[in-house]
């Protein structure tokens, strides 16, 4: 009998429903959950709607790290709600300023062999500790908080065998960028990545976390490293050695595919605008002028990353034509930098110090100038995500970023002429959990503060028997949730769906023309259903369920695409929108905005045939028929027809 993968072992230990067979649907027990403020407000409103009196997980944490800018009352209103609902429901609350959820969870809560479900697509960061950590929509996380098992397809496991060691100035970020150049950001739905080999053992936990973090960009369910001596040393330094256990795949584990990466052969890499998989060697970009550098985010804001940057700034100041901003990932990291003098080196070198939060990574400040090249250590460089239209954003390691900051141009950091900074993990990290508020004892009266900018989750009607749809837009490949629902300055509206829905596909709106939301609402108000047509990898990127909730509010009931990403497909079902995949590319290409889409007895077709036959009526009156295959399990179908998961609980 073939040996087991590490992922298979952890999933099997948490199996509560279904058979563990490739491609099969299973249900797993969730040990921990996390939410952040941008997605967490709706998740907690959904938790209330479910009637859950107290969370039933081993641990649930609500973080404030996304919407920390307070231009107007909306964000602070959300924070007050989250703090009080956490206390009322038995969750921990990480206060604003305590740090980015994934960095803090890695430091203070993550544990090998546990399952973690988070309402943020970069939750797989904790796979660097040997966790099965999965991103999901807020409703799925709310249900997990209520003790409901999480439904998932058994993923194919891509094994990545790492050998050798990283050379000086080559970083963990270069490992995941290299893998993105191989697997790309599309076509990996239903897969997971498992790292192993002597090279994996050479990487520290923060380095492993950088790699698993950007598994989200691959579109895989999760990524995982073994739990070994490096894991134990990290947890011991965090005062949590008792939570360590050794975990690894069997020596004869069988993978669906194996990719070999020699760490010693890698060079500094950069993801070019505007996709994380458009990867080129930094040496090919050498000499290209850079105007802005931002270092931080949940991908590269660990103490190791910060100390490396500080060491360079101690020797070389920021170039006069570059604006450098640095965001340490947690209060633990920031205070350590302040105590050991590294923060002073950053300031003296010319860096702007940002708070420990997501900030510019989601378009919250630090938007670059028009035409400027921005070099960032983040995980996403989708067009416009910086907050500047037509942006030129590159993703790199902290080593490459600081090299650009001090030279003013793209520079292979190996050409700086500096000795690579030696870094050794502290025997004991600075531990101060005073900004993580534990819940009061069960039964303690808590008033939940809900200001008038916070609405209730909208309720969707059951799926119609007969569809009289209209194609509202026809889109290309790799449409992200940023395209569907803009982040940045718009995030403060996330707890008020009628307002946020006005900005659905804001990027498509043209001056003087009806907006997407106006067109969709007109179809809805006339009694029809909105249809979105898209190419491959629709819904990649963030876990934001608003990319389903807001279109549903506007009357969208069907998404037809050549491919739909996992989290987004689940979110569509959760809110009563049918996710369907074209059987033929020609059918996708034959549809245009304004086409009428007619379907008779759609629920009956889905139940009887597992597909739907549609009739499309063009503007000239000509017709053609086509089929779509729904992305649905039997349970999904029941929930879809009821109008979403909230209607069947």
Q: How far apart (Å, rounded) are the C-alpha atoms in residues 154 and 21?
A: 7
Residues 6+ apart with CB under 8 A from 79: 37, 64, 67, 96
The count of other CB atoms within 10 Å of the CB of residue 557 is: 26
Which letter does DSSP use for residue 48 in this model?
H
CA distance 454 to 448: 12
Helix (H) / strand (E) containing 399? helix 398-407
Query: Are 239 and 431 in contact, with CB atoms under 8 Å apart?
Result: yes
- Tell me what pLDDT residue 648 has: 84
Write b or e for each residue in 352-369: b if 16 or more Cβ atoms lie within 10 A of its Cβ, otherwise e: eebbbbbbbbbbbbbbbe
Return d(Cα 446, Cα 437) in angstroms, integer.
14
Show Cβ contacts of residue 352 under 8 Å, excluding neighbours closer than 6 positions. Answer: 323, 324, 325, 326
* Helix, strand, or coil (residue 22): coil
**Cβ proximity of 31 and 116 under 8 Å:** yes
Residue 238 phi, psi dihedral angles, 5° rounding = -90, 5
Reported residue count of the chain is 649
* Alpha-carbon span 488 to 507, nearest angstrom: 13
pTM of the model: 0.96
Residue in this structure with the two tokens 């998989």, named with its chain if needed = 277
Report which secondary-structure segment, H or E, holds 9.
helix 6-13
Q: Which long-range contacts (CB under 8 A, 24 or more apart) does 52-56 make?
A: 52/89, 52/142, 52/145, 52/146, 52/147, 53/89, 54/89, 54/90, 54/442, 55/89, 55/90, 55/91, 55/145, 55/146, 56/145, 56/146, 56/147
If DSSP codes are grouped into helix, strand and coil, which group holds residue 561? strand
Burial environment of residue 252 by CB neighbours within 10 A (0 to 12, 13 to 18, 19 or more): exposed
Residue pair 544/531 in contact (Cβ under 8 Å)? The answer is no
- d(CA 460, CA 475) in angstroms, rounded, equals 25
Q: Which two tokens stand for residue 149?
A: 């098992």
Q: Give pLDDT < 50 ranges for the chain.
A: none
CB 379 within 8 A of CB 307: no
Sorted by sequence, the CB contacts under 8 Å of residue 452 that are 6+ apart come out as none
Q: Where are the alpha helices (DSSP H) in 214-299?
A: 215-218, 229-237, 282-285
For 386, the token pair is 């910086």
pLDDT of residue 459: 85
581-588 contacts at long range (C-beta below 8 A, 24 or more positions apart): 581/628, 581/629, 581/630, 581/631, 582/626, 582/628, 583/611, 583/626, 583/627, 583/628, 583/629, 584/626, 587/626, 587/627, 587/628, 588/533, 588/535, 588/560, 588/561, 588/562
DSSP 419: P
Question: In whole angstroms, how far apart are CA 386 and each of 74, 368, 370?
Answer: 21, 7, 11
Residues in contact with 265: Cβ distance below 8 Å, sequence separation at least 6, in sequence order? 164
For residue 369, the SS3 value is coil
Task: Answer whether 551's CB lies under 8 Å from 504's CB.
Answer: yes
| pLDDT more than 70, % of the chain | 100
Q: Pairing mode, if any, of strands 156-163 and 257-262?
A: parallel
205 by DSSP, 3-state: which?
Answer: helix
Q: How far is residue 516's CA from residue 464's CA, in Å, rounded to a whole number?
A: 22
Closest CA to 295 of 335, 326, 328: 326
Taking the C-alpha atoms of residue 551 and residue 475, their distance in angstroms, rounded to an integer, is 15
Residue 1, pLDDT score: 66
**CA-angle at 110, arms to 394 and 242, nearest 5°:** 140
Looking at residue 490, the DSSP 8-state letter turns out to be G
Are 290 and 375 in contact by the 8 Å Cβ rule? The answer is yes
What domains sit in the chain, N to C, each tagged with a CATH number?
6-265 (3.30.499.10), 280-413 (3.30.499.10), 467-647 (3.20.19.10)
Torsion of CA 334, 335, 340, 344, to 10 degrees: 60
Return all residues near 327 (Cβ < 8 A) that are at least 6 apart: 294, 295, 296, 297, 301, 353, 354, 355, 356, 357, 359, 360
């Amino acid at each position: 009998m073939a040996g087991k993968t590490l992922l298979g072992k952890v999933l099997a230990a948490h199996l509560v429903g279904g058979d563990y067979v490739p491609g099969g649907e299973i249900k797993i027990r969730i040990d921990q959950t996390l939410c952040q403020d941008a997605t967490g407000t709706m998740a907690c409103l959904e938790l209330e709607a479910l009637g859950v009196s107290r969370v039933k997980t081993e641990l649930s944490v609500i973080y404030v790290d996304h919407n920390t800018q307070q231009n107007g009352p909306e964000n602070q209103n959300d924070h007050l709600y989250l703090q009080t609902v956490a206390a009322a429901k038995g969750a921990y609350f990480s206060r604003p300023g305590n740090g980015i959820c994934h960095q803090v969870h890695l430091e203070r809560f993550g544990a090998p062999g546990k399952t973690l479900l988070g309402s943020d697509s970069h939750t797989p960061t904790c796979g660097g500790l040997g966790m099965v950590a999965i991103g999901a929509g807020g409703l799925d996380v709310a249900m997990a908080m209520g003790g409901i098992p999480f439904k998932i397809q058994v993923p194919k496991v891509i094994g990545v065998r790492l050998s050798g060691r990283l050379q000086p100035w080559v970083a963990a970020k270069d490992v995941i960028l290299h893998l993105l150049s191989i697997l790309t950001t599309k076509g990996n739905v239903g897969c997971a990545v498992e790292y192993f080999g002597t090279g994996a053992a050479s990487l520290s936990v923060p380095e492993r976390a950088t790699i698993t973090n950007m598994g989200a960009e691959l579109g895989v369910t999760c990524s995982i490293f073994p739990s070994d001596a490096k894991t134990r040393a990290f947890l011991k330094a965090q005062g949590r050695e008792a939570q360590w256990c050794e975990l690894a795949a069997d020596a004869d584990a069988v993978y669906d595919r194996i990719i070999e990466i020699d760490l010693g052969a890698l060079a500094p890499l950069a993801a070019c605008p505007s996709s994380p998989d458009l990867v080129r060697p930094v040496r090919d970009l050498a000499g290209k002028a850079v105007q802005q550098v931002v270092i931080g985010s949940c991908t590269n804001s660990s103490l190791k990353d910060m100390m490396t940057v500080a060491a360079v700034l101690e020797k070389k100041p920021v170039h006069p034509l570059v604006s450098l901003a640095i965001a340490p990932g947690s209060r633990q990291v920031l205070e350590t930098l302040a105590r050991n003098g590294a923060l002073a080196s950053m300031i003296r070198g010319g860096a702007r110090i940002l708070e420990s939060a997501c900030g510019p990574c989601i378009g919250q400040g630090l938007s670059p100038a028009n035409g400027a090249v921005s070099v960032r250590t983040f995980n996403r460089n989708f067009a416009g995500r910086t907050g500047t239209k037509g942006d030129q954003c590159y993703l790199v390691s902290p080593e490459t970023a600081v090299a650009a900051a001090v030279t003013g141009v793209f520079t292979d950091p190996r050409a700086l002429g500096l000795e690579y900074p030696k870094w050794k993990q502290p025997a004991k990290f600075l531990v101060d959990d005073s900004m993580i508020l534990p819940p009061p004892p069960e039964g303690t009266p808590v008033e939940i503060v809900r200001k008038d900018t916070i609405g209730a989750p909208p309720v969707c009607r059951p799926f119609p028997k007969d569809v009289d749809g209209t194609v509202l837009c026809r889109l290309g490949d790799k449409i992200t949730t940023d395209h569907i629902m803009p982040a940045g300055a718009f995030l403060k509206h996330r707890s008020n769906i009628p307002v946020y829905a006005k900005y659905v596909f804001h990027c498509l709106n043209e001056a003087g023309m009806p907006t997407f939301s106006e067109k969709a609402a007109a179809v809805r108000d006339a009694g029809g259903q909105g249809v979105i047509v898209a190419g491959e990898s629709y819904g990649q990127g963030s876990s934001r369920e608003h990319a389903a909730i807001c279109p549903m509010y506007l009357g969208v009931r069907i998404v037809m695409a050549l491919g739909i990403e996992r989290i987004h497909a689940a979110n569509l079902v959760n809110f009563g929108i049918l996710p369907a995949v074209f059987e033929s590319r020609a059918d996708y290409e034959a549809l245009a905005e304004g086409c009428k889409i007619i379907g008779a007895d759609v629920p009956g077709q889905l139940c009887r045939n597992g597909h739907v036959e549609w009739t499309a009526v063009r503007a000239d009156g000509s017709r053609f028929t086509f089929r779509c295959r729904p992305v649905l399990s039997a349970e999904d179908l029941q929930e879809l027809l009821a109008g979403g998961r909230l209607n069947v609980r």
